[in-house]
Structure 1
Amino acid sequence: MSGLLTRAGTLLRWFVRPFAGQEPSFYRAITACLLAAGLFWQMNALNKTYTSRLDFPLAWHYDSAHYVPLRPLPARVGVTVTGQGWRLLRANLGWGTHPADLRPVPYPGTRYLPNESWRRGLQNALEGVQVNEWSGDTLRLTFDRIASRRLPLVLPADSARRYRATFKPAFVTFRGPSSLLQALPNPYPVRLLRDDADVTEVPIVAPARIRASVRSVQARISRR
């Protein structure tokens, strides 16, 4: 082991001996040459063609006035692309690129974005780079129609056993995905803030993704 270290030390001294005792300008020249060589090598490498994987941003465009996605639409998608090193570097760093515009037809039900739609959007965004494949499972879409449903209000069963209630307004309109609206109970129960006949206002608590036309209703409560 010691012999190996001795030979290594001898080799290192042989290598650095020509540089010992030189003027500072000599070292500056050596550094400049090394930097120039490295830059030339890097530029030459970036002029070649490579295949790489990108995590690319997406911009979704659909009829949001009449349809709503039931699951969050992905903000990015993994794609495998082929192109010149310079272009792949720009795409990885986001220089001069914009999100891929995807335009699904938002019919209700679970479906995948058609091949021609995602490829056209990605290819337009990745100009000069060939899109090979993408992570298709991440773009499974579930849209539903936006609908409204008007429901009468009642007290929940446990409160209704002890109190009578009159609400103003007596009906509330709920708006959201059609499939979720159809699952709402009819009449719609509103829970008292406290177990007390003196309650005069009751909040309307809607499920997630559904909006009620009012936040609360006036209530007239009396004991049975």
Structure 2
Amino acid sequence: MIKPIRRFFLEENQGKVKLSQRAVIFFFCLVLSSFFWLLSALSKEYNSRMQIPLNYTELAGFFVLTEDPPKSIEVEVRGTGFELLGEQWALDNSPLQINLNSAKPSSRPNQFCIPTFKLRTRVIKTIDPNLSLRYISPDTLYFKTENRYGKKLPLQAKLDLTFASGYHLRSPVQLDPDSIWVSGPASFIDTVSAVYTEPMKFSKLDDSAKRVLAIQNYEIDGVKLEPEQTMVLIPVEKFTEKELNLRIKVVNEVDQRQIRTYPKEITALFLVPLSKFEYLDTSVVKGVVTFTEAELDKKQLKVELNGVPPYAKLLRKEVDKVEFIIKE
């Protein structure tokens, strides 16, 4: 069986195998008959279902969609194969514009609707004029909504910071703006107390850095952030240590008797930025103990450091408590 077929399609000439003349004529006739069959098939009429993508304008500002609206409608059209050929591709590139403000309240709460028969004229203009429109599905487009609420919320940066040796934050990270307006469904807005930037990592910082950060959006329909980005400033500076000898001040809240502490002064070690080194001294930072009735039966008073500026960080305090005597 195989040999006769092989002899029909192939012939050998001077040791070379090639298609026989009969095979060439056969394939030519096959292609020609297929072409005429295709022409005949495409000239007949067919019913075909197609998808028309939808684009939506927004609802009025005081409403918000709580579910994604339908992405397309299905239409059945009738036409010849030639007319249907490529029509779906053309429809994919010509979405139908839907004005949500034309939607009317439905019988269900928090729901609007648009009957698709109102779209019929526009659909006919969208499809090939030689095609006839038979029906549109679904018969109604439904949209779930809620009232839109909004409030101003503080913005917080999600940063992963590491510093080069000897460098630290000189002051807190700054955001501009440091709060944004968030609006959306009331059921969501009532649960949110802050908004965050997209995470960003800074490694081995040895100088101040400034970046524009996107604000994390919520994967919830209808939520809007205004604005959608912020400027972050990371103030970085080289730090050094500074030691202060602080004379202890006594605040007597009980009577007028004189109270003496031992020792009379303590040493405190701070970490300060180089630019502020000269500003940190004993005129700024004070060592204070407070004598109240609660301390009458105690032998020691707790030493508090008052006036420590935000840029200084206490590394070590020589003692946390001092002994005292009351002079009559």
Q: TM-score, structure 1 length as denominator?
A: 0.55
The unaligned stretches of length 5 or more in structure 1 are: 1-8, 153-170, 192-202, 217-224
Q: What does residue 51 of structure 2 align with?
A: 55
- One-letter identity of the residue aligned with 2:78: T
Q: What SS does the aligned partner of 2:133 have?
A: strand
Query: What's the offset of the Cα at 1:138?
Result: 7.8
Cα distance in 1 between the residues matched to 2:216 and 2:73: 39
Residue 46 (structure 1) shift: 0.9
Distance change >3 Å, CA 21–CA 66, structure 1 → 2: same
- Corresponding residue SS for 2:86: helix
Does structure 1 retain, via aligned residues, the 8 Å contact 2:153–2:193? no
Asked if structure 1 preserves the Cα contact closer than 8 Å seen for 2:153 and 2:180, the reply is: yes
Matching residue of 2:190? 184
Distance 1:31 1:142 in 2: 60
How far the C-alpha of 1:41 sits from its partner, in A, is: 0.9
Contact kept in structure 2, 1:62 and 1:106, CA below 8 Å: no
Whether the 8 Å CA contact 2:114–2:140 is kept in 1: the answer is no
1:77 maps to what in 2? 73
Residues 145-202 of structure 1, C-alpha deviations (whole Å, 9 max, x = no match): 64534689xxxxxxxxxxxxxxxxxx9753224x547x726xx7569xxxxxxxxxxx
Contact 1:78 1:135 in 2 (8 A): yes
The change in CA–CA distance for 1:51 and 1:176 in structure 2 (over 3 A counts) is same
Structure 1 match to 2:131: 129
Cα distance between partner residues in 1 of 2:27 and 2:95: 41
Structure having the higher helix fraction is: 1
CA contact (8 A) 2:103 2:114 kept: no
| Paired residue type of 1:136 | P
CA contact (8 A) 1:102 1:117 kept: no
Q: Distance in 2 between matches of 1:62 and 1:212?
A: 16
Aligned partners of 1:49 and 1:82 also within 8 Å = yes
Per the alignment, do residues 72 and 42 of structure 1 end up closer, same or farther by CA in structure 2, a change over 3 Å counting?
A: same
**Aligned residue type for 1:175:** S
Larger radius of gyration, structure 1 or 2? 2
Could you tell me whether the CA contact under 8 Å between 1:74 and 1:138 is conserved in 2?
Answer: no
Q: Work out which of the residue numbers 27, 31, 50 in structure 2 matches 1:31.
A: 27
> Aligned residue for 1:119?
120
Correspondent of 1:175 among 179, 183, 191: 183
- Pick one of 214, 219, 223 that aligns with 1:210: 223
Question: How many pairs are equivalent?
Answer: 172
Cα gap change, 1:28 to 1:138, in 2 (>3 Å): farther
Query: Which amino acid in the other structure matches residue 37 of structure 1?
Result: S
**Matched AA of 2:112:** R
Structure 1 or 2: more strand by fraction? 2
C-alpha separation in 2, matches of 1:213 and 1:99: 29
Cα separation, partners in 2 of 1:207 and 1:122, compared to 1, 3 Å? closer
Q: Displacement, 1:212? A: 5.8
Distance 1:112 1:205 in 2: 28
Greater alpha carbon shift after TM alignment, 37-46 vs 118-127: 118-127
Q: Which amino acid aligns with 1:114?
A: P
TM-score for the superposition, normalised by structure 2: 0.40
Hey, what does 2:269 align to over in structure 1? none
Identity, % of aligned positions: 20
Match of 2:38, SS? helix
Q: Measured at CA, do residues 138 and 25 of structure 1 come closer, stay the same or move farther in structure 2, by a change above 3 Å?
A: farther
Q: Which residue matches 1:166?
A: none
Higher relative contact order (CA 8 A, sep 6+): 1
Cα distance in 1 for partners of 2:94, 2:127 equals 8
